[in-house]
């Protein structure tokens, strides 16, 4: 096994372990956030919502549980969301830089973090 492949497996295992630990910290509520819709104050958040709808909503509708677990109730930091998108885990496929650019991923993360407020 190459060093790069071993490093990717180690990173995947770290992401998986961290996600599992943090998943236990979330609220049991899995639907849309209570109260008003998230305030999208920046262009990145607005763009992130459109990109989230394109790439993520099929499995995480509105951030809630669907084909995949809810994400609007998990206290995941932005770096871990990025790692999850790039590396994938379980049934979630990895999304390459050719599919979702770094700028697009930053916008998605900005939107996801706003969903959790």
The Cα-based distances of 55 to 36, 52, 62, 74 in angstroms read 24, 5, 12, 19
Residue 39 is predicted with a pLDDT of 78
**pTM attached to this predicted model:** 0.67
User: In the chain, how many domains are there?
Assistant: 1
Domain span at 58: 3-115
**Residue 97 maps to which CATH number?**
1.10.760.10
Query: Is 80 exceeded by the pLDDT of residue 23?
Result: no
Bridge partners (DSSP) of residue 92 are 89
Give the model's confidence band at 107: pLDDT under 50 very low, under 70 low, under 90 confident, else very high. very high
Condensed to tens digits (0 to 9), the pLDDT of residues 28-40 reads 444 444 455 677 8
Look at 37 and 99; give whichever has higher pLDDT.
99
Tell me how many helices (H) and strands (E) the chain has.
4, 0
Query: Is 80 exceeded by the pLDDT of residue 90?
Result: yes
Condensed to tens digits (0 to 9), the pLDDT of residues 58-81 reads 999 888 888 888 888 888 899 999
């Amino acid at each position: 096994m190459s060093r790069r492949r071993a490093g990717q497996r180690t990173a995947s295992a770290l992401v998986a372990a961290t996600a599992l630990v943090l998943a236990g910290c979330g609220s049991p509520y899995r639907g849309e956030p209570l109260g008003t819709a998230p305030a999208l104050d920046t262009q990145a958040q607005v763009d992130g919502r459109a990109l989230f709808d394109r790439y993520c909503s099929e499995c995480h509708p509105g951030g809630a549980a669907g084909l995949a677990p809810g994400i609007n109730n998990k206290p995941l930091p932005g770096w871990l969301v990025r790692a999850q998108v790039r590396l994938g885990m379980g049934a979630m496929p990895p999304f390459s830089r050719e599919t979702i650019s770094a700028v697009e991923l930053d916008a998605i993360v900005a939107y996801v973090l706003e969903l959790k407020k």
